[in-house]
Every structure is written in structure tokens, then in C-alpha cells.
Amino acid sequence: METRITRLLNIEHPIIQGGMHYVGFAEMAAAVSNAGGLGIITALTQGTPEKLGNEIDRCKKLTNKPFGVNLTFLPSLTPPDYPGLVDVIISKGITVVETAGNNPKEWLPILKEHNIKVIHKCTSVRHALKAQDIGCDAVSVDGFECGGHPGEDDIPNFILLPRAADELDIPFVSSGGMADGRSLVASLAMGADGMNMGTRFIATKEAPVHENVKQALLAASELDTRLVMRPLRNTERVLKNESVERLLETESRLGADTKFADIAAEVAGVYPRVMIDGEVNSGAWSCGMVAGLIHDVPTVQELIDRIMSEANSIIKDRLASM
């Protein structure tokens, strides 16, 4: 299946694995790229330029296909070494960067100078248009269904994707609620050039996370996510658990007076404990409503092959017969 995004990224299938904290390691990225999609290493999980360089080298030993790096730009009193991380991305010959968080405008000139394609994650049409205006090559349009940060507009993909198609000239992929061939065909029908999957890729054999995490996704339904940090206007969709219920009780009690310090115990530094140690109730961790569509833990190759087979069948058989 050839689309603007497969041509832009030099990949076989229009499927991207989004950057995920403590999931986007070399094993994950290589498995997706080997299966014909675009795998992504998460830079901030590595933390330092040296560690990111080592992870990129490790990924190159696992695949000879294109893969990218996610760079999330966050406000911080002690920000990561972004110049060092960008230098490593350039020196290691990475061809695709997925940016997220704050506006990546500061970093675009040097990335473009080295022919690196930039895909920016956006949760609204206005942000997608801004990304286009500053020179991003593509955008990932994230609907309200997505795990992680869905923005503050609460617009689901059935509205957001056609609106993006109406306004954008650059390629874009859907994100949020994407799980199977139906997701891909629906995304294409609404104007997207492919899809970005996060939560679905966690429930695969190669995903380098604890088995408890995968089982938690299998057990969850579309009703089992919660929105936290709304009073801080930093909304995050997470899987419900005991810690999340405590967090929501705190936010309900404090209302608009909620400060980050009030909920830090449930959100700060929890990812290593969840993803590596399997302590799935120890804090709030990102999960999309797509959990309701996850019923097995296949290999990445099996998952992508199934998605493409189902998508082609829908297009050639079901839709053609109409």
C-alpha cells in the first residue's frame, strides 16, 4: 500500500509506532521497522546523548530498515540536553524524527539541514497548521481517544481527521484508537495517509515491557481509562488503577487549586516501576481507549501483516462490493 507517508519515510506500510516512554527501546523500534512500518526510539527514556547513541547503535544491529527517534520538548527547570540529543540523532544518520510537546521550531533548521524528516504530534487542527507553517514534513493528528496527552479540546478522530484533511497540505497520520485494518481504512477514508499506533504495540511479544503490563491491556476495555491532570491543563489519558483513583480523589477535592506537588506521588517517576518492574498499580501510566480492541499478544510481524491483510480485504472486497 503506497501513500504519501510511505513515500516520505521510505517504508512499506503506512504504519508508525509512536514514541512511548520506557517502551520505545531498540527492540520495539526494530521489530516495527522489520515488519515494514516505522519504528521509533524514545530519546527522553534514554535521557543522555551517550545513552541515546548506544540505543541507536543497538537498533542498527537489529534492523537495516529506516527507524526514527522521538524528541518530546517539555518545559522543565532542568531540561534534558536537547542540543546533545539532536547532535547524536544527526551524527548517527537518523532520517526521521517525531517531535512532540512544545513547538519544535528552534530545532527545525538544523534537522532540515541534514535532510531529516520531521513529524510533529498535534492534538488540534490549529497546531497542525502551525507545524505545517514552520516547515514540518508531516504531522500525527492525535484524537481525544489517544493514550497520553490528548490536548484540551476533546475532539475525537471522526471529526478531527476530516478537519485536518480539509486544512492541511502536508501528509498526516491518524493517532488515537488505532488497532487494526479497520482503523487504517477508516483513517485513509477520512483523509489521513496512514496511522500511528502506541498502546496496541505495547501488547506485542517484542514490546520490552513487563508481562503484567501486557496482561493489564488484555484485561482492560474501552471503559477503563481515566483523564488525569485536567486541573493543571496537562490532561493525560491513563489506565485506571488504585493510584489513579487516589489521584482523581485529590483533584476532585482540591479542584482548581490542585498543584503538581499534590499528585506527584502518583505521576512522577512511575514508568520504570510500571514498565520494567511490572508494578502496574504503582502510578498513572498512559493507555488509550483502544485497549478495548486488544485481545491478543501477537508478534509485531503478525500484527502488521494482519492489519494490512484486513485493510486490503476491506478495500477490495467489502467496499468494492458496495
- On the question of pLDDT at 315 being above 90, the answer is yes
pTM to 2 decimal places? 0.96
pLDDT, one tens digit per residue, over 155-199 is: 999 999 999 999 999 999 999 999 999 999 999 999 999 999 999
Contact (CB, 8 A) for 3 and 188: yes
Those residues whose C-beta lies under 8 Å from the C-beta of residue 78, and which sit 6 or more positions away, are none
pLDDT at residue 211, rounded to an integer:
98
**Separation CA 132–CA 141 (nearest Å):** 12
Chain-centroid distance, C-alpha 167: 22
Give the model confidence (pLDDT) of 84-111 as tens digits. Answer: 999 999 999 999 999 999 999 999 999 9
Residue 112 has pLDDT above 90, yes or no: yes
| Domain ranges within the chain, ordered by starting residue | 4-209, 221-286
Residue type, 224: D
Q: What percent of the chain has pLDDT over 70?
A: 100
The topology under which CATH files domain 4-209 is: TIM Barrel (3.20.20)
